Amino acid sequence: MRAKARAYTMQALVKYHGLKDWRLRIPYHDSISVNTDVAYVVAEVSFGDSEEDVVMANGTPLTGRARERVVAVLDRVRELAGIEERAVVRTENHPRVGAKGLGFSSAAGASIAMAAYAAAGLDRVYGRDLTLVSRIARLLAGSACRSVVGKYARWYAGTGDHDSYAVSFADERNLPLRFAIVPLGMEATTEEAHREAESSPYFLRRIEVANERCDRVERAIKEGDFRTFGAEVERDSLELHAITMTGNSGMILMSPDTLRVIELVRQMRRSGIEAYFSMQTGPTVYVNTLPEQIDEVAQRLREAGYEVMVSGVGGGAELISS
């Protein structure tokens, strides 16, 4: 009972913030993302090899809350499969980059869910049911449900476990996006940010705005309208950080380098380059552009002294072996 799977990280485009159900990780509103094709997590899950669940991430054993979130996935798989065996889980990030806001938790959740699903024999019972795998992955990290399906994906918030999952709705044939990722580090957790956001006096309005923006961004992607797409994603990133900063603790998840990259992107636009910035719950910046301008965008970022990872639209989680 062993399987290995790979899942790619994602760039959140319309970001979710806060959870109305922390056990099931049900968000307040829909969200949209695009998978990368440059960073991924490989997970191996084997049932029956241990007296207790063991979780190793990049060679280091996980404990506390991080381990609990993986075990939540394993428990759901065991429940569906009707088994009781404990599991050994091993994950490895590719590449190993010390940064916050790169989406590795989403890739970890997606790859673990896919591997556990196959290792427990659920693929023989339910087939390749990505909706079910998406629901399982959500229990580790909300964004993981979108990494499962890949490409451009929308996570429908839903009302409970049965209807809170992601669907892939477009690919690079609709919008041939390219993006340069500037990885930046910070000591903070996404869970802290989600709890902080809920204390912002502007949080309820954010829920309304985010749901409306999901519709506009999905339409822009399907129609290949890059300018509308870029402007909406930029605005959403600023709102996300504004909500966090206006919570009870005044949590700031940008760094001075984040602001420098934002200004550099604005300078690019003034010089005629179509480029737009995007951030998740962290200082890392994604610079979205089109294929014909990605080389220039990456070069300018590198000339400014930043490490750059160049990505296109990536696929969903995939089984490597079982």
- β-strand partners of 130: none
Phi first, then psi: what are they for 98, rounded to 5°? -85, 90
Q: Are 246 and 200 in contact (CB under 8 A)?
A: yes
- pLDDT, tens digit, 9 for 90 and up, residues 206-265: 999 999 999 999 999 999 999 999 999 999 999 999 999 999 999 999 999 999 999 999
Please give the model's pTM, rounded to 2 decimal places.
0.95
Tell which residue, 105, 101, 107, 106, has the closest CA to residue 7: 107
Q: Which residues contact 158 (CB under 8 A, 6 or more apart)?
A: 26, 164, 165
pLDDT (tens, 9 = 90+) of the chain, 322 residues, equals 899 999 999 999 999 988 999 999 999 999 999 999 999 999 999 999 788 999 999 999 999 999 999 999 999 999 999 999 999 999 999 998 877 778 899 999 999 999 999 999 999 999 999 999 999 999 999 999 999 999 999 999 999 999 999 999 999 999 999 999 999 987 777 778 778 888 999 999 999 999 999 999 999 999 999 999 999 999 999 999 999 999 999 999 999 999 999 999 999 999 999 999 999 988 999 999 999 999 999 999 999 999 999 999 999 999 999 8
- β-strand partners of 242: none
